[in-house]
């Protein structure tokens, strides 16, 4: 069974979505540990509710960032973790962790990459004026949201959206596609070819495209 390690800094709703899929038996995996860089992350509370081991690793205890990531890699390795899930982990992952888990670290980003990488993907989309945004699950390669794309969901942007309303709409799709990407990985159906991820038996993948609503005044 796939052994997962989760890194989170805050709320942990994507972490929760993965817990729920495992508990509902839609995902054959076990979460070996939650590691946080924030002792008051709400994700810790979620781990406790579901009897998942958790650990706070204080970045300030390390003289160099690479040492912090080496410590994370060591903790994950010592628990036999196969796949690392970044779930709202607010740091750019560095080489010691990436080298320890090549093509085995996933992240979720609240925009349709390569559009609007980095912080506040939803606000960037609103400010730019796009009509469709969404979310992306991708492998992590050391850049800022640059790794090979696994799956994406398109989400409409409406003219009265605020950052909060758009974030909420996108988040509901994050909770669908992140567990789905983990499931595809657990079934050995993700193959990385250069910067492309080929999904084997693609027809079985959920349809994740949403049509934008028609604005009645345009009709």
Would you please indicate which residues are annotated as catalytic (active-site) residues? Answer: 109
**Residue 12 lies near ligand GRF (rule: CB under 6 A):** yes
The count of chain residues that interact with ligand GRF, using the rule CB under 6 A, is 13
**Residue 10 lies near ligand GRF (rule: CB under 6 A):** yes
- The residue with tokens 């069974």 is 1
Task: Say how many C-beta atoms besides its own lie within 10 A of residue 131's C-beta.
Answer: 11
Each residue 80-99 as x (binds ligand GRF by CB under 6 A) or -, in order, gives -------xx-----------
**Residue 147 lies near ligand GRF (rule: CB under 6 A):** no
Q: Which of 31, 32, 76, 27 is nearest to 184 (CA)?
A: 27
**Residue 34 lies near ligand GRF (rule: CB under 6 A):** no
How many angstroms separate the CA atoms of 171 and 153, rounded?
10
In the region spanning residues 102 to 121, those forming contacts with ligand GRF, defined by CB under 6 A, are 108-110
| Six-digit token string for 68 | 């912090």
Task: Say how many C-beta atoms besides its own lie within 10 A of residue 55's C-beta.
Answer: 14
CB of 127: closest distance to ligand GRF in angstroms? Answer: 17
Nearer Cβ to ligand GRF (12/96): 12
What are the φ and ψ backbone dihedral angles of 199, each rounded to 5 degrees? -100, 115
**Residue 11 lies near ligand GRF (rule: CB under 6 A):** yes
Helix (H) or strand (E) holding 2: strand 2-8
**Residue 54 lies near ligand GRF (rule: CB under 6 A):** no
**Residue 169 lies near ligand GRF (rule: CB under 6 A):** no
Ranked by CB distance to ligand GRF, the top (closest) residue is 88
Asked if omega into 114 is within 30° of 0 (cis), the reply is: yes
Nearer Cβ to ligand GRF (174/180): 174
151 contacts: CB under 8 Å, gap ≥ 6: 136, 137, 177, 180, 181, 184, 199, 205, 208
CB of 170: closest distance to ligand GRF in angstroms? Answer: 7
Nearer Cβ to ligand GRF (154/187): 154
Q: What does the binding site for ligand GRF look like in residue numbers (CB under 6 A)?
A: 8, 10-14, 87-88, 108-110, 171, 174
């Amino acid at each position: 069974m796939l052994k997962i390690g989760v890194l989170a800094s805050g709320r942990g709703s994507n972490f929760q979505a993965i817990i729920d899929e495992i508990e509902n038996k839609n995902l054959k995996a076990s979460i070996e540990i939650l590691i946080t860089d924030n002792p008051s992350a709400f994700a810790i509370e979620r781990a406790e509710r579901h009897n998942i081991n958790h650990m706070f690793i204080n970045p300030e205890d390390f003289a160099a960032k690479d040492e912090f990531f080496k410590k994370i890699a060591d903790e994950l390795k010592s628990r036999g973790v196969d796949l690392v899930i970044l779930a709202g982990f607010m740091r750019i992952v560095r080489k010691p962790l990436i080298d320890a888990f090549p093509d085995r670290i996933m992240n979720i980003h609240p925009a349709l990459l390569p559009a609007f990488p980095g912080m506040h993907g939803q606000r960037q989309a609103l400010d730019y004026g796009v009509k469709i945004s969404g979310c992306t699950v991708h492998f992590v390669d050391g850049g800022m949201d640059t790794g090979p794309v696994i799956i994406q969901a398109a989400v409409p942007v409406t003219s009265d959206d605020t950052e909060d309303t758009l974030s909420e709409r996108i988040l509901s799709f994050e909770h669908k596609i992140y567990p789905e990407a983990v499931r595809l990985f657990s079934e050995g159906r993700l193959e990385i070819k250069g910067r492309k991820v080929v999904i084997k038996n693609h027809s079985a993948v959920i349809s994740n495209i949403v049509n934008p609503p028609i604005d009645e005044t345009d009709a």
